Amino acid sequence: MTDTGNDAVVDLSMILPFFKALPREETAILLSAGKIVSYKKRATIFMQGDPATRLFIIISGWVKVHNINDNALESNVRLLTRGDTFGIDSIFEGSRHLFSAETVNECKLLEMPAEILRERMKTSADLAMNIISILSHKVKDMQIANACTALKHAPRRIACLLLRLTSWTSGRGVTLKLPYEKSVAAAQLGMDQATFSRALTRLEIFGVTSSNGEISIKDFEKLSEHCCSLCSISEDQCMGRRHKLIKTPVVKKI
């Protein structure tokens, strides 16, 4: 108990879902097999088609995972950050990466060999359970992201992203610096960069202003009413939602 951990990584393992509720020895075995790797900004971590030999857990920074074709057409752009895991699904599905991964900032990643996973899973039901949780969570994340891109109007999509990025803050509003470039955010939302730029200014009437690379949201609730009221994700399932649902009497179309 008084052993506070002889390593920053050990502390970190306390908050990563991957190590959740694992016995101390199991965590130690896993950690000793993994290693922390630093990446520079805009570095390639792997390309789609590469053998999936490792699992990646983000310690710091932002990583963009995406599919890309020869014409540089992107799809499935997802942005991951601290605590998120990637590459795990590829290990168990075909053993080749389905997507490419690159850093958008400087990043520190914890990398675990696939073999140790397969190995330890056989004896540790807890570890298997954690992997299942991580995969289930990833499915949920993708569904929320899909619901966002399903919003037909670009300003709404941006509003959705802003609300999700700031979901951890309290208060009525906030001023934030986007953690990555606007062109990246545009790709994440499946729209053109020019469209992103124009759509952002169209959010002014909802209290969103932008200057000097900072975006300020005056009133979360107002913004949330604008975009989340058309979202198909249930009220309590999305962290970004900020307004209470007003129970309107259901009027059925006949």
Tell me the Cα Rg of the chain.
20
105 lines the binding site for a second copy (CB under 8 A):
no
Closer residue to a second copy, CB minimum distance, 193 or 209? 193
199 lines the binding site for DNA (CB under 7 A):
yes
249 lines the binding site for a second copy (CB under 8 A):
no
Name which of DNA, a second copy, none residue 121 binds, using a CB cut-off of 5 to 8 Å depending on partner kind. a second copy
Q: How far is the CB of 252 from a second copy (least distance, A)?
A: 10
Q: Where are the alpha helices (DSSP H) in the chain?
A: 8-13, 24-33, 88-91, 114-123, 125-150, 154-165, 182-188, 193-201, 220-228
- Distances in whole angstroms, Cα of residue 136 to Cα of each of 21, 56, 130, 143, 172: 17, 17, 10, 11, 32
Distance of CA 85 to the CA centre of its chain: 9
219 lines the binding site for DNA (CB under 7 A):
no
Copy the structure tokens of residue 56.
Answer: 């990646």
Give counts: helices (H), strands (E), the chain: 9, 11
Closer residue to DNA, CB minimum distance, 130 or 188? 188
Cα separation of the two ends of the chain: 65
Q: How far is the CB of 233 from a second copy (least distance, A)?
A: 6
Three-state secondary-structure class, residue 148: helix
167 lines the binding site for a second copy (CB under 8 A):
no
21 lines the binding site for a second copy (CB under 8 A):
no
183 lines the binding site for a second copy (CB under 8 A):
no
When binding is defined by CB under 7 A, the residue of 4, 7, 125, 152 that contacts DNA is 152
74 lines the binding site for DNA (CB under 7 A):
no
Rounded to the nearest 5 degrees, what angle is found at the Cα of 184, between the Cα atoms of 238 and 221? 35
**Structure letter (DSSP) for residue 96:** B
Closer residue to a second copy, CB minimum distance, 91 or 217? 91
45 lines the binding site for a second copy (CB under 8 A):
no
Of 4-12, 27-35, 124-132, 187-195: span binding DNA (CB under 7 A): 187-195
- Distances in whole angstroms, Cα of residue 45 to Cα of each of 39, 64, 80, 150, 180: 8, 10, 13, 29, 17
Place of tokens 């990246």: 184
When binding is defined by CB under 7 A, the residue of 24, 35, 96, 153 that contacts DNA is 153
Name which of a second copy, DNA, none residue 48 binds, using a CB cut-off of 5 to 8 Å depending on partner kind. a second copy
Interaction site with a second copy (CB under 8 A)? 48-49, 66-71, 73-76, 88-94, 96, 98-99, 121-123, 125, 128-129, 131-133, 135-140, 142-143, 146-147, 150, 190, 230-234, 237, 248, 250
